[in-house]
């Protein structure tokens, strides 16, 4: 018999959905039923998400100064609030947990007004707009990087780390094996939902600048936007090298486990997953990220020695080629980076977050929960 329904709310990008998915698995193991509220973008993740049902409610972000656009967004949010209220009244969840993104706003506001327990999880080192709008209304805040002291809402914040998917936990069991001279070198390159275009243009040029002896060792996995597939595939064919090119990889955890180096953006989930698995990385924060959250995330891993952070404005194809040349000839350095990254990982974040969800759902205060951890 189920202990009750937990309603998770998350925006439809991987950065929001993956932590929610990790928590969902833990809650299912503990006897809860899980439902997900999201948007249509999450359909590609729906097959693996362990929810009894996935719901879509209207939502919108108010980013425009145009009065007509603002009015339209407010109407959509009001419609989403009504739909979320009906959903919550029907499901009777024991708690509603938000993971950021504008689709979380209607269900969290509706739950708060209905007196249902609420909490949010912020993946980044800088709180996103949706979570910032909800922070005063929820009972508890879990943070991937957020500090528990000396910051806004510190009285209700617990630093749990970012929960990672079971596939990442499994990948973390694979030890890092360095690639020596003459051996295949697995390079994984991805940019998230917004950042893959830059790598699509820069990486093939960088590869063409490598010495032949290094280029033949490379085995590349690269996430590429659909509109860039033809260009990148053509470059790979001309370079006559081994590469898997796709807009999305369902087995990315396994590919990361095999990686000798990762070049990627520094979204919160990405940084957390690389840390848990323990792989050396070159992090290139998305330069247009709101509040520069990716730069803050990257700095947290770089501080441990597990990653090198380079601004996109400073990362030319020539510099990428120089980095690859240096690290492919220095496997010991990459091994040290891999070990440092793994020390920064928090593989138990999903369990701690599940503990927190159960505590708040049971009516305990965040102060009581913190005392149990002391």
- Contact of 121 with 158, CB cutoff 8 Å: no
Sheet holding 307-309, edge to edge: 242-246, 218-223, 185-190, 261-264, 281-283, 307-309
31 labelled ligand-binding: no
- Contact of 118 with 112, CB cutoff 8 Å: yes
250 labelled ligand-binding: no
165 labelled ligand-binding: yes
Query: Coil, strand or helix: which one is 150?
Result: coil
Which CA distances in Å does 28 have to 11, 24, 90, 276? 21, 6, 20, 22
156: which 2 tokens? 């209700």
150 labelled ligand-binding: no
Cα three-residue angle 59-65-71, rounded to 5 degrees: 45
In angstroms, rounded to a whole number, what is the distance separating the alpha carbons of residues 111 and 364? 17
13 labelled ligand-binding: yes
Contacts of 258 (CB under 8 A, 6+ apart): 174, 186
Listed residue (304, 309, 256, 298) closest to 279, CA to CA? 256
In angstroms, rounded to a whole number, what is the distance separating the alpha carbons of residues 222 and 139? 41
80 labelled ligand-binding: no
193 labelled ligand-binding: yes
Q: Which residues are annotated as a binding site?
A: 13-15, 124, 165, 193, 294
Q: Which residues are annotated as a binding site for UDP-N-acetyl-alpha-D-glucosamine?
A: 13-15, 124, 165, 193, 294
């Amino acid at each position: 018999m189920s202990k009750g329904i937990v309603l998770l709310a998350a925006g439809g990008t991987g950065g929001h959905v993956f932590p929610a998915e990790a928590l969902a698995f833990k809650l299912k193991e503990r006897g809860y039923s899980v439902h997900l509220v999201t948007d249509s973008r999450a359909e590609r993740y729906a097959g693996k998400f362990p929810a009894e049902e996935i719901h879509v409610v209207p939502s919108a972000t108010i980013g425009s100064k145009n009065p007509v656009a603002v009015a339209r967004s407010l109407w959509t949010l009001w419609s989403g609030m009504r739909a979320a209220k009906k959903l919550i009244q029907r499901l009777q969840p024991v708690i509603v947990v938000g993971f950021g993104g504008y689709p979380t706003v209607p269900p969290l506001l509706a739950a708060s007004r209905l007196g249902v327990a609420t909490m949010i999880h912020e993946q980044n080192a800088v709180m996103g707009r949706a979570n910032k709008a909800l922070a005063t209304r929820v009972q508890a805040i879990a943070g991937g990087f957020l500090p528990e002291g000396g910051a806004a809402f510190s009285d209700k914040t617990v630093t749990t780390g970012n929960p990672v998917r079971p596939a990442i936990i499994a990948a973390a069991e694979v030890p890092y094996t360095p690639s020596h001279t003459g051996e295949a070198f697995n390079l994984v390159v991805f940019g998230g939902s917004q950042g893959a275009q830059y790598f699509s243009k820069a990486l093939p040029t960088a590869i063409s600048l490598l010495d032949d002896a290094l280029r033949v060792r490379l085995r590349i996995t690269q996430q590429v936007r659909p509109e860039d597939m033809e260009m990148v595939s053509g470059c790979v064919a001309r370079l006559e090298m081994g590469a898997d090119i796709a807009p999305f990889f369902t087995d990315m955890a396994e590919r990361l486990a095999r990686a000798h180096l990762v070049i990627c953006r520094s979204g919160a989930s990405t940084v957390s997953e690389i840390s848990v698995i323990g792989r050396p990385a070159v992090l290139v924060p998305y330069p247009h990220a709101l509040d520069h959250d990716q730069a803050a995330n990257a700095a947290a891993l770089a501080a441990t020695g597990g990653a090198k952070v380079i601004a996109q404005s400073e990362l030319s194809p020539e510099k990428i080629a120089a980095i690859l040349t240096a690290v492919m000839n220095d496997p010991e350095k990459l091994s040290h980076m891999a070990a440092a990254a793994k020390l920064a990982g928090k593989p138990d974040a999903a369990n701690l977050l599940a503990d927190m969800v159960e505590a708040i759902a049971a009516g305990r205060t965040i102060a009581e929960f913190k005392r149990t951890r002391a």
